[in-house]
């Protein structure tokens, strides 16, 4: 099985994270600051350099005005429309 970071689903996951951040109106720096992290944190997350655990993903979703369920639904929707 191919490592997750090389799968199309991972690319879509990162695209969805960036999309909800942009739609929230937050910059990477603002989002990182809200999480108590340096700006490079969000940059690394969105580029796939830094992976998030479930707790970090939940914190990020809350900062961006959504929740894990909402994010998961949008991720699944994006997957279903990408023909992965």
CATH code (residue 44): 1.10.260.40
Neighbours of 68 (CB within 10 A): 13
Between the CA of residue 41 and those of 6, 56, 76, what are the distances in Å? 21, 11, 25
Tally the domains of the chain: 1
Domain that holds residue 70: 4-80
Give me the pLDDT at residue 62, please. Answer: 97
Neighbours of 75 (CB within 10 A): 17
- Selection from 25, 2, 6, 8 nearest residue 83 by Cα: 8
Tell me: the pLDDT tens digits for 18-67? 999 999 999 999 999 999 999 899 999 999 999 999 999 999 999 999 99
Give me the pLDDT at residue 83, please. Answer: 63
| DSSP letters for 7-26 | SHHHHHHHHHHHHHHHHHT-
């Amino acid at each position: 099985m191919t490592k997750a970071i090389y799968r199309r689903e991972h690319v879509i996951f990162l695209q969805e994270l960036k999309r909800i951040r942009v739609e929230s109106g937050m910059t990477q720096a603002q989002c990182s600051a809200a999480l108590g992290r340096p700006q490079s944190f969000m940059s690394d997350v969105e580029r796939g350099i830094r992976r998030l655990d479930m707790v970090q993903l939940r914190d990020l979703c809350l900062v961006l005005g959504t929740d894990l369920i909402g994010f998961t639904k949008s991720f699944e929707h994006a997957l279903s429309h990408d023909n992965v």
